[in-house]
Chains A and B, each alone.
Chain A
Amino acid sequence: MTDTHTAPPRQRSAKSAKQPAAQAAPQSRTNALIAVVAAILVVALFLFLILQQPRETKPTSIGFSLNSFFRWLGNQNQLVQIPIVLVVFGAVVGILLLLIEYAPRPGKLYFWIRLVACFALPVLAFMLLRPYQNALLYVLGIAVVLGGAMFLLDYRSREGAGYHFQLVLFAAPAAILLLVGLVYPAIATFVQSFFDKTGKDFVGMDNYVWVFTQPEGTWSVINTLIWVLIAPAFATVIGLAYAVFIDRAAGEKFLKVLIFMPFAISFVGAGIIWKFVYDYRQGDQLGILNAIVTLFGGEPVSWLAVTPLVNSLLLMVVFIWSQTGLAMVILSAAIKAVPPEQNEAAELDGANAWQRFRNVTVPGIRSAIVVVITTVAIGALKIYDIVAVMTGGRANTSVLAFEMVNQQQRFQSYGHSAALAVVLFLFVTPLIVFNVIQIRKQREIR
């Protein structure tokens, strides 16, 4: 990957290479100073904001706001709302892209575009939220300070004016959504895991001790571990094998749909489907498994109550049944993208089907395999619906995500559920390491 710059490419000769280095030190110090001053101003304004006297106020607005837009939109017919909101959203993204495209160009016009945008965008964004009158001045002040700091730092940056400006615009929508919706709850959960169920008394590591000593907790951890080891492995292997088998076969599209269909069924629906497989009763059987068992003269088995582990494995079968379609579709597409020349060359060299598969196909689809394993593994870590619908966590089938919700809803033990969530966070670390290693390997090859 090459670094892309926005200003006209600077000619870096050996002579000028030294100058930027020498200028870098005082320049970055000034930048740091600007950043610090801006931060202090923001904090000061914020403190003034929250330390005000309460008084009767109402929301201010510039004539329209997010709320008024959504209210107006909400009164339209559902089908009409779809194109309206898409056009408006498209327009907003279009403006962003226009700014990204034009603002970084050199020249006076673009300088002013950047300046105005740096101030206008934060102010507009805050005003769309309708802050109350007593907050208005300070909110605007914070917006102006942030915008100004952004503009200055961008202007003075080494990569040229407009570089950071673009970056912020690319990342801002996603960053705002993620910070508000996922990062803040994650931090709040982490903090909550050190408090007791009322949320007021600090209990340190007690909740974690509970997780690892109580049977519900320990079984959740063990089951989750087994889920994350077995489910992705089977889904990927079966998906890959199937993709290879049907590659260029007659009726390939039809065969693909058959395996993909379970993915399109909700987990609740899948729970009902497999209820009719695992069902246990005397007399006439409703479940396929027990029907087969009784056909061969055996006694019906209460499949979902067979411990240890068999019932968990049967739940995993449901998950694998559902996710293999996803794996198959992704891997099939990746297989098709391997240039046939390499296969033919290998065949000319005398390799048989299995050797061709191992040495040509698999390396060629390596990144697809990594993506599939990661996606299915994360799905397995977060599994909730299947366990809830089919066993309700009984007979030691509980997993971390299920127990977390169970503790929260049934027992109102927020401390316990937060601790379970944090343990779940930790489970994703190996996946991160795995992916980082793969990305590094990819970059080396490239």
Chain B
Amino acid sequence: MSTGVDIIEPIADTRTARQVARDTRKHEAMARKRLTSRGATIAALIIAIFWTIPTFGLFVTSFRPGADVQSTGWWTIFTNPSFTLDNYEQALNSGGTALTLGESFLNSLAITIPVVFFALAVASLLAYAFAWIDFKGRNIAFVAVFALQIVPLQMALVPLLSLFSRGLTIGDVTIFPGFDLRDMTHSFATVWIAHTIFALPLAVFLLHNFISEIPSEVIEAARVDGAGHGQIFFRMILPLAAPALASFAVLEFIWVWNDLLVATIFAPSSSLPLTQSLNSLSGTWGNKWFLQAAGTFISIIVPLLVFFGLQRFFVRGLLAGATKG
């Protein structure tokens, strides 16, 4: 079908997702020719080593006694091994009575998982509308949502917090009295809403890019069968967009899991996440790097697990459509 290497025409692809996966694997197995050579693999290895050295340094640091950390470099551990688990022990037992590490870990989970789902659902609804419903002002609206990515988080904190705490009062009339969630055991509602809002512009941008590349023949076929937008969205778009949804889910999970500022401002004190616990490890005076090193690695376990778990979706990826465009 292709008339030349530079013009790529869309190929009508009526295979199911499973068939596509099978064919791809077949092609990969058959293709003896790779894009690159052995030299490139070595280059990649070198890049990977350089990339990992700084993280490895912190990993080593997290096992060194505090006094050593402040006096010699981490590479000396190979000549002068001194190994301790104290930093991890201190980090895991931190927080005393107010907010233990275990509690804040559970809080982090309770904050991150719902936000990922909320953001995906709301954003995919809007992305679908932008992609497949023609309406006046669609382009301007899309550009506006895209542009909202630049609104700095810090500028939105006070207005949003004020809305949650004081509500909306104009003159002497209270239209919305705000939420009263401070005394609850673990209340995350305000954090959920705040994170979802801040995630939306990028989510809509990324998902729209993918959803708009789904071939229109597929959708037309469904339409001919009498399906309305609701069914098309739920039964066709969501499964086809699963790679994009999963990829964005991983990204959003990592961002929310590592977030400190939004949680500190919006979450009541019993609902603070892991990042807050770990940040408070070092005392008021001075930074205890050895403790924070241990904290960093405790915190990174879950995002890595999520990445591994959803990694196969990355193979099909954010922008690999069923066709080329």
- State yes or no: do A and B touch (Cβ within 8 Å): yes
B150/A382 in contact, CB under 8 A: yes
A71/B107 in contact, CB under 8 A: no
B260/A171 in contact, CB under 8 A: no
Which of A241, A265, A330 meets B296, CB within 8 Å? A265
- Knowing A78-B109, A166-B133, A428-B150, say if A276 contacts B74 (CB, 8 Å): yes
Nearest neighbor of B57 in chain A, beta-carbon distance: A276
Chain A, residues 85-111, CB within 8 Å of chain B (1/0): the string is 110010001001111111011000000
Q: Number of residues in A with C-beta < 8 Å to the partner? A: 159
B296/A71 in contact, CB under 8 A: no
Query: Is B19 interfacial (CB-CB < 8 Å)?
Result: no
- Knowing A245-B41, A245-B43, A382-B152, say if A260 contacts B307 (CB, 8 Å): yes
A259/B173 in contact, CB under 8 A: no
Instruction: Tell me the dominant secondary structure on chain B's binding face.
Output: helix
Kindly state the separation between the CA atoms of A76 and B231 in the bound complex, as whole angstroms.
Answer: 34
A404/B154 in contact, CB under 8 A: yes
- Knowing A131-B176, A259-B47, say if A330 contacts B319 (CB, 8 Å): yes
Which of A66, A93, A364 meets B179, CB within 8 Å? A66
Nearest neighbor of B254 in chain A, beta-carbon distance: A264
Nearest neighbor of B153 in chain A, beta-carbon distance: A382
A3/B44 in contact, CB under 8 A: no
B51/A367 in contact, CB under 8 A: no
A70/B150 in contact, CB under 8 A: no
A338/B229 in contact, CB under 8 A: no
| B-facing residues in A228-268 (Cβ within 8 Å) | 238, 241-242, 244-250, 253, 255-268
A367/B213 in contact, CB under 8 A: yes
Kindly state the separation between the CA atoms of A357 and B70 in the bound complex, as whole angstroms.
Answer: 48
For A442, what are the chain B residues with a Cβ–Cβ distance below 8 Å?
A: 212, 325
A244/B36 in contact, CB under 8 A: yes
Kindly state the separation between the CA atoms of A3 and B219 in the bound complex, as whole angstroms.
Answer: 11
Kindly state the separation between the CA atoms of A446 and B132 in the bound complex, as whole angstroms.
Answer: 14
Stretch at the interface among B4-12, B81-89, B90-98: B4-12
B324/A375 in contact, CB under 8 A: no
A70/B289 in contact, CB under 8 A: no
Kindly state the separation between the CA atoms of A117 and B251 in the bound complex, as whole angstroms.
Answer: 36
Nearest neighbor of B159 in chain A, beta-carbon distance: A185
Which of A182, A242, A357 meets B197, CB within 8 Å? A182
Query: Is B17 interfacial (CB-CB < 8 Å)?
Result: no
* Other 15 A-B pairs with CB < 8 A, given A132-B177, A167-B133: A2-B216, A67-B177, A67-B179, A71-B181, A73-B189, A75-B185, A132-B174, A177-B197, A181-B198, A182-B156, A182-B201, A321-B51, A342-B5, A353-B37, A367-B325
Which 3 pairs between the two chains have the least Cβ-Cβ distance?
A333-B317, A101-B230, A74-B184
